[in-house]
């Protein structure tokens, strides 16, 4: 009669084998963590930097494309007309004469150069910045899924958390990229106690939102204005 021995892949007697993380199952592995909603996050989940969403900016692109196409088409038509032994359009003759005769310090020349420079800087800013400031990026728990939370929705959720604090009569929440400002009105209890409770509740609320860059919470608590 032989006694069973424990091999490399056999659990020891009296001990259960540790669960391993399998896709599509609720089991977790030894290195897994849990998200704010209790869902297990695999150890190999993406933890890189989460970038902001980029705006498509269809309106500025459409306006710029229309201006470029219209100006280029009109200029091409006038050049073709001149090549066909016709007179150039009046606007092009006046523009050429003005550019040839007006000095550089002329008021209209300076104004036109300033407008062109402002439009150029504006286009460069639009090309270099992501936009969509109203969408806050959320943590990425899967490499192929990106999620964002609207600022107004985040502010509404935090306002509901603030209203749950005892003593809070009303609250206003404004959420920005790096800061969540709260103005609460308390009609009873000590203001310092209410402020501490609101800060604690909103800190937990910010963690539950699952944002990639949680904003810092600042709370101001005041008494309601006296009537009469």
Express each pLDDT in 179-203 by its tens digit.
999 999 998 899 999 999 999 999 9
Q: Which residues pair with 218 in a beta bridge?
A: 181
Answer whether residue 39 shows pLDDT above 70.
Answer: no
DSSP H helical segments within the chain, as ranges?
Answer: 58-83, 90-101, 107-128, 151-163, 191-209
Contact yes or no for 221/195 (Cβ under 8 A): yes
User: Is the pTM here over 0.75, yes or no?
Assistant: no
Instruction: Specify the residue for token string 């009469």.
Output: 228
Q: Which residues pair with 181 in a beta bridge?
A: 174, 218
Contact yes or no for 202/163 (Cβ under 8 A): no
Per-residue pLDDT tens digits for 5-37: 444 444 444 444 444 444 444 444 444 445 544
Per-residue pLDDT tens digits for 135-165: 888 888 777 777 888 889 999 999 999 999 9
Instruction: Specify the residue for token string 């150069």.
Output: 113
Q: What pLDDT shows up at residue 7?
A: 47
Compute the mean pLDDT over every residue in the chain, rounded to the nearest whole number: 78
């Amino acid at each position: 009669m032989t006694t069973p021995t424990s091999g490399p892949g056999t659990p020891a007697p009296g001990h259960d084998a540790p669960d391993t993380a399998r896709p599509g199952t609720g089991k977790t592995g030894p290195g897994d963590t849990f998200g704010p909603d209790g869902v297990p996050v695999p150890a190999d989940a993406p933890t890189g930097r989460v970038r902001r969403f980029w705006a498509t900016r269809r309106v500025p692109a459409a306006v710029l494309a229309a201006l470029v196409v219209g100006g280029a088409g009109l200029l091409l038509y006038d050049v073709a007309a001149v090549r066909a032994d016709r007179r150039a359009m009046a606007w092009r003759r006046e523009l050429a004469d003005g550019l040839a005769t007006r000095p550089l310090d002329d008021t209209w020349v300076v104004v036109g150069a300033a407008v062109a420079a402002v439009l150029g800087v504006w286009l460069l800013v639009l090309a270099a910045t992501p936009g969509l400031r109203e969408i806050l990026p959320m943590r990425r728990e899967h490499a192929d899924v990106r999620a964002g939370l609207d600022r107004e929705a985040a502010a509404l959720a935090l306002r509901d958390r603030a209203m749950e604090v005892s003593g809070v009569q009303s609250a206003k929440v404004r959420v920005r990229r790096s800061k969540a400002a709260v103005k609460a009105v308390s009609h009873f209890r000590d203001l310092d106690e209410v402020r501490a409770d609101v800060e604690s509740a909103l800190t937990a609320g910010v963690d539950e939102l699952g944002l990639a860059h949680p904003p810092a919470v600042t709370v101001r608590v005041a008494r309601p204005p006296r009537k009469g």
